[in-house]
């Protein structure tokens, strides 16, 4: 009996910030389901290593593109390379790239700090979406934006980051309304604490801010204890959510999917 093609065979995706962390989880999930996935970041060595590993494993294909996602010319070039890679087709865009500054009260952030963070976390998604939409409309595809649980519940000493993720969530809802007429679905993932290099950096910042002898490991344990499962999430779990929203969630648009192990629920409800 002939082996059936992978579910996402023939689909083409573009993922920003795809060489590490949550972006990597999304790239791996989509390639693993048979898609052709272009992914970009400014980490060339890391990106090329992932490209080689994914192309060796299949069943889909991967293309790494070195990009500064704050640069409009770079983004336009990335879209053109993706279209060449995918035979002039684009089905899915995953706006993932972003960073989280060290924790500090608002007094420690300048207006320029906020502008710089907005450029990476928000403006890049807006700019790239505008470039990709004509092609995604043609394929009646999907956009997945990586927001955050903190867009809903806030976060201690992270006002600039929360502003950017709240913007991504609002962008998702507004764009979903506009693009429904074109058959394009627009959804967001709101991760909780996921074990990534960025979370490690975040934990380092909190440990240093605390001044009470807490270590990075103490902070990671605190993140884990906030979830109903008493553990951190994995990039593979976010990748699975991304694949669901791209491939299977054909009656979902404008949603923010929490992948949090219940962190947002009241802590007294925990039973373990």
Handedness of CA 232, 193, 246, 44 (dihedral sign): negative
CA dist 216 to 148, 204, 211, 246, Å? Answer: 21, 5, 12, 35
Query: Over 50: is that where the pLDDT of 270 sits?
Result: no
Handedness of CA 41, 255, 156, 215 (dihedral sign): negative
- Residue-wise pLDDT tens digits, 187-243: 999 999 999 999 998 888 888 876 556 888 998 999 999 999 999 999 999 999 999
35-62 mean pLDDT? 98
- Residue-wise pLDDT tens digits, 120-154: 999 999 999 999 999 999 999 999 999 999 999 99
Catalytic residue among 123, 161, 223, 251: 161
> Mean pLDDT over all residues of the chain?
94
Q: Are 21 and 196 in contact (CB under 8 A)?
A: yes
β-strand pairing of 61-66 with 92-95: unpaired
Q: Is 161 a catalytic residue?
A: yes
168-185 mean pLDDT? 98
pLDDT at 209: 74
CA–CA gap between residue 54 and residue 62 (Å, rounded): 6
Beta bridge partners of 146: 189
pLDDT at 267: 54
- 197-205 LR contacts (CB < 8 Å, sep 24+): 197/20, 197/21, 198/21, 198/99, 198/100, 199/223, 199/232, 201/100, 201/102, 202/100, 202/103, 205/102, 205/103
pTM of the model: 0.94
CA–CA gap between residue 50 and residue 32 (Å, rounded): 13
CA–CA gap between residue 272 and residue 269 (Å, rounded): 9
Query: Over 60: is that where the pLDDT of 2 sits?
Result: no
Q: Are 74 and 68 in contact (CB under 8 A)?
A: yes
CA–CA gap between residue 196 and residue 214 (Å, rounded): 20
Q: Where are the alpha helices (DSSP H) in the chain?
A: 21-32, 44-57, 72-85, 111-118, 124-139, 150-153, 159-179, 197-210, 216-226, 235-243
CA–CA gap between residue 214 and residue 252 (Å, rounded): 42
Domain locations along the chain: 12-195+234-260
Q: Are 219 and 178 in contact (CB under 8 A)?
A: no
Fold assignment, 12-195+234-260: Rossmann fold (3.40.50)
| Residue in 17, 14, 8, 34 with CA at minimum distance from that of residue 82 | 14
Beta bridge partners of 258: 190
CA–CA gap between residue 41 and residue 47 (Å, rounded): 7
């Amino acid at each position: 009996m002939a082996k059936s093609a992978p579910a996402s065979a023939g689909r083409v995706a573009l993922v920003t910030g795809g060489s590490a962390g949550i972006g990597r989880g999304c790239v791996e999930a989509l390639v693993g389901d048979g898609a052709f996935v272009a992914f970009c970041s400014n980490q060339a060595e890391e990106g090329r290593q992932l490209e080689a590993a994914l192309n060796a494993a299949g069943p889909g294909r991967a293309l790494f593109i070195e990009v500064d996602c704050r640069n409009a010319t770079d983004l336009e070039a990335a879209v053109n390379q993706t279209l060449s890679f995918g035979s002039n087709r684009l089905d899915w865009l995953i706006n993932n790239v972003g960073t989280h500054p060290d924790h500090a009260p608002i007094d420690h952030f300048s207006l320029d700090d906020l502008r710089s963070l907005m450029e990476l976390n928000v403006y890049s998604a807006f700019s790239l979406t505008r470039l990709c939409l004509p092609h995604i409309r043609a394929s009646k595809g999907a956009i997945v934006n990586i927001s955050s649980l903190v867009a809903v519940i806030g976060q201690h000493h992270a006002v600039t980051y929360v502003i950017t993720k709240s913007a991504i969530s609002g962008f998702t809802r507004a764009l979903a309304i506009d693009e429904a007429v074109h058959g394009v679905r627009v959804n967001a993932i709101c991760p909780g604490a996921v074990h990534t290099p960025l979370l490690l950096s975040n934990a380092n910042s909190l440990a240093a801010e605390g001044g009470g002898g807490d270590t990075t490991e103490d902070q990671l344990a605190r993140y884990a204890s906030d979830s109903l499962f008493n553990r951190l999430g994995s990039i593979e779990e976010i990748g699975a959510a991304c694949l669901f929203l791209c491939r299977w969630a054909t009656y979902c648009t404008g949603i923010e999917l929490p992948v949090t192990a219940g962190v947002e629920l009241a802590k007294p409800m925990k039973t373990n």
